[in-house]
Amino acid sequence: WMNKHTRHHGNPNTVGKDPDIAPDGVVFIPEDAAATTGPMRWLVRHQGWLFFPLLTLEGINLHRHAVTSVLRGVEGKSDRRDRVVEGVMLAARFAIYLPIVFVFLPFGMACAFLGVQLAVFGVMMGASFAPNHKG
């Protein structure tokens, strides 16, 4: 059994083998793009131009995936010890970082700080990973 990340690096950009090219916010396969409907169809049609603006949301998306993987497990993997360790690390990060931000900054500025920090984090992650993942 290989986890999602290992399968991705074992078969990068290979249809049917790389789980990271499944349709999501960005679509990689023409057949998947043709199957989109509604607002997603517009997004897919303009995804090249929207790539960097979409990266501003990736920080939130990565945090969401981290929390849901701890709560639900990842693709059926039930390694309880790993999930507990990751859950403790996430809880510690939130318990230490968020109070510091909200104690030392006014509420509105703290929210703005977190929003900018997550947006910059998403763009930096995308800027570092995307060039190395192009087919």
Tokens 């790389």 label which residue? 18
Q: Is the pLDDT of residue 87 over 80?
A: yes
pLDDT over 90 (residue 16): no
**pLDDT at site 103:** 97
CA distance 86 to 92: 10
What residue spans of 1-135 are helical by DSSP H? Answer: 4-10, 30-34, 38-45, 47-55, 58-72, 80-104, 107-129
pTM, entire model: 0.75
Asked if pLDDT for residue 81 goes beyond 90, the answer is no
- Residues 91-129: tens digit of each pLDDT: 999 999 999 999 999 999 999 999 999 999 999 998 888
